[in-house]
Structure 1
Amino acid sequence: MRKVLLTATVALTAVITSVTPALAIRGGVEAPQPYPFSGSLQRPDSPREDGHTCGVTLVAPTWAVTAGHCTKNNPSGATVGRPKNWTVRLGTTDAGSGGEVIAVERFITHTDNPVHEGDLGLLKLKKPAKTKPVALPSARPAEGTQVRILGWGMTCHQRLPECYPKKLREADTVIQPAAACEGMYANRELCIGALDGSVAATNMDSGGPGLVRDGDRWVMAGIVSGGQGDNTPVMYTDMHYFKSWIDDVVTGKINPPDTPVPNLEGAASLAGVCSASVVKTSATKSSDHALLLTNGHCTPERPAPGQTLRDVPLAVPVTIGDRQGYLQAKANTTHLVHATMTGTDTALYRLDQTYAQLHAKGVKIFKLADRSARPGERVDVISSGNGDRFSCTVEAVVPHLREEGYTQDNAYRHGCKASHGGSGSPIVLRDGVTVVGVHSSTNDSGEQCTANNPCEVAADGTVTVHQGARYGSSTQSLAHER
């Protein structure tokens, strides 16, 4: 499977696939001086202190180019939109300081499926950059052409601060024959790097440039897209192939409308692994430390059948989104208040901030219902992991839902098309505030009562399987927790 070279952020979408990080610009060295037209796309949801997510290159005074999977990696997966607190930092060797910082007004992705149909995105800047844009190629560079690659990619295999380089790295390599990059689209991509991968772009180098010399100037031949692993060259989007599209967007000839965005207000993410929501109960006070609701199977160690975990000290990062899904607030859990997968697949965490503190930051706070949903009732599933808000009907209340040795009682079979990234998403009544459950599982392949294939057990013991059915757990038992 082709892997894009971008570390997952809070806004993980279906287009982004995981990748094992390797050394930053393998075979490279720290750049002795900046490239005025080249820089970093920086976002508040980056796992890095410096905010770096992808490389960018200035192609016009108010336009920068990056990889399409970098622009498509936004909370709702929009192809065209207006991001919140995205900036580019140009003309520095330090991703965290120096150079010129300009806010991003808008992003335009070349296609809805960038990895397979043209991995290219443009960033409209809120003001013209002071530096001169890079030149685009007049022809596709030939195999064997010398290329300089740049990036702030990871320096080791863990997503830890020490693995994020502060200084820009560069390396000199060549354009390889297309056959050296398995799965490459030869007409619109370039294969760049050493044949054994010893000199190549790596994770978080996405969108960074491959530069070739044209007399005394640099020309941008391509931008980092993805590869097949550490031991191969990397696929770059061919700038010459897409030059006309870039020119048409920059001149305004192409000006697509913004992608409609669902209301994701309050959708939270637990460590980027599960969806969640901040909830209050009937016993809640504004001075209380807030509670975060998700699935029991989203805890670091799943409760055993019949087990309930209570008041376990546990620190996990949490992000909470605004209406468009962009970062509204950050928090950390302090304790796992309650977690079980028996009877119901739910967990409550206590956060390090009070309801009053989160309210002051504009965070939407849901309330736990003291009843279950009813068959035929309309609900929404609000999912940070899926980047979507699904509206549907509760199709049935299932007496017993069995999966991999666990049994949940009075579970919901619902019609909302949430996927696995939606685990822990709140199931909300039509008032948009009241939570009656959390999305928990899907029967993927039609198997009976196995992992990711829950089965329904009637009161008389009859077992029924509905392939493709989605299920949620009732939260009624949590309505009076504090």
Structure 2
Amino acid sequence: MNRPLVGTLATAVLGAAALVGTVGTAQAAPQHRPLPSSHKTKAVDFAGTVALSNCSGSVVRMPGSQPNDPALVMSNGHCLESGMPGAGEVIVDQASSRGFTLLNKSGGRAGTIRANRVVYATMTDTDVTLYRTGSTYAQIEQKYGIKPLELATDHPTKGAGISVVSGYWKKIYTCNIDGFVPTLKEGDWTWKDSVRYTPQCQTIGGTSGSPVVDTATGKVTAINNTGNEDGERCTENNPCEVDENGNVTVHKGTNYAEETYGIPKCFAAGNKLDLNAAGCTLPKPAATRR
């Protein structure tokens, strides 16, 4: 995983020595590939992103979310404060009081919002945690002037321009979707239909959970989560790609994200999780699988 960091920005030192835990060494800032002048893009900034104690994240809404719904914050499953979920483990409706530093457009601190529940968390098939906060979208906008990011409902496309927006580092990585990986395997965990970045997105520790924004639509199309650090095969911090025929390949220095387009199908009115909803493919807790 793009490893979560221990401590706070005040005590963190940018560099490999400061990165503790699970994937991605600190590397030089990427050179952003310029887009053709004819390519229309939406400006991507930090508004709506958050910094966690060890990761990045964002305030997100489903297409059907309403202003008075409790706001949701999305980060990685491996950023969960109670520890990384095991392979096959799914966590729902768990107590949480985690705080998030909400950022404004320029990356400055807008304020703090706080979770009251972990709505959903897993590292199986995908790598995501969704928190419910004690604030509504309307309250956040009224108090801080910040609107949520919207989750796209369409599968991302190869070649699409993307921005990976890290609230932890207050840094935006810009690149393209290089392609999709049928199975991405790292240690005990397996993820399906993962997004592979082009080389410009050299994400580092602390970027875990960053929203991946499609620059054509301005919507969140994936969530940043891992990269192959040392060129090892399928080990922690060194995911490997497995194709439809079971062939394994390793791409040292390549970074990845997990798609989020299927998540909205698992949420009903009021931002309520419904894993039995039509079209919902998120893994279920073992006790409720059927």
TM-score bracket for this pair, using the shorter chain length: 0.7 to 0.9
**Per-residue deviation, residues 237-279 of structure 1 (Å, max 9, x unmatched):** xxxxxxxxxxxxxxxxxxxxxxxxx932222112x21100000
Contact 1:13 1:385 in 2 (8 A): no
After TM superposition, the structure 1 = structure 2 runs for residues 53-452 of structure 1, keeping only pairs within 5 Å, are 263-270=45-52, 272-300=53-81, 301-360=83-142, 361-415=144-198, 416-431=201-216, 433-452=218-237
Q: Which amino acid aligns with 1:322?
A: N
- CA distance in 2 between counterparts of 1:439 and 1:337 reads 19
- CA distance in 1 between counterparts of 2:195 and 2:174 reads 14
Corresponding residue SS for 1:476:
coil
Shift, 1:364, TM fit: 3.4
Corresponding residue SS for 2:262:
helix
Contact 1:313 1:335 in 2 (8 A): yes
Distance 1:387 1:17, change over 3 A: farther
Contact 1:417 1:470 in 2 (8 A): yes
Corresponding residue SS for 1:420:
coil
- CA distance in 1 between counterparts of 2:209 and 2:251 reads 21
Scaled by the length of structure 2, what TM-score is found? 0.76
Shift, 1:13, TM fit: 6.3
Contact 1:13 1:387 in 2 (8 A): no
Corresponding residue SS for 1:417:
coil
- CA distance in 2 between counterparts of 1:353 and 1:463 reads 45
Q: What is the match of residue 280 of structure 2?
A: none
Distance 1:446 1:15, change over 3 A: closer
Shift, 1:410, TM fit: 0.4
Corresponding residue SS for 2:141:
helix
Contact 1:13 1:386 in 2 (8 A): no
Q: What is the match of residue 466 of structure 1?
A: 251
Shift, 1:431, TM fit: 4.1
Choose from 233, 236, 240 the match for 1:455: 240
Give the structure, 1 or 2, with the largest relative contact order (CA under 8 Å, sep 6 or more).
2
Which of structures 1 and 2 has the bigger CA Rg? 1
**Per-residue deviation, residues 388-422 of structure 1 (Å, max 9, x unmatched):** 11111100110000001111100001131211210
Shift, 1:440, TM fit: 0.2
**Which consecutive residues of structure 1, in runs of 5 or more, have no partner in the other structure?**
1-6, 19-76, 78-261
Corresponding residue SS for 2:78:
helix
**Per-residue deviation, residues 302-337 of structure 1 (Å, max 9, x unmatched):** 221112111111111101111221111211111110
Q: Which amino acid aligns with 1:353?
A: S
- CA distance in 2 between counterparts of 1:16 and 1:305 reads 27
**Per-residue deviation, residues 181-201 of structure 1 (Å, max 9, x unmatched):** xxxxxxxxxxxxxxxxxxxxx
Shift, 1:363, TM fit: 1.5
- CA distance in 2 between counterparts of 1:12 and 1:461 reads 40
Scaled by the length of structure 1, what TM-score is found? 0.46
Corresponding residue SS for 2:139:
helix
Q: Percent identity?
A: 32
Distance 1:13 1:359, change over 3 A: farther
- CA distance in 1 between counterparts of 2:172 and 2:49 reads 9
Q: Which amino acid aligns with 2:48?
A: G
Q: What is the match of residue 287 of structure 2?
A: none
| C-alpha RMSD over aligned residues | 2.1
Report the count of equivalent residues: 233
Q: Which amino acid aligns with 1:280?
A: R
Runs of 4+ in 1 over 3 A off after TM superposition: 7-13, 15-18
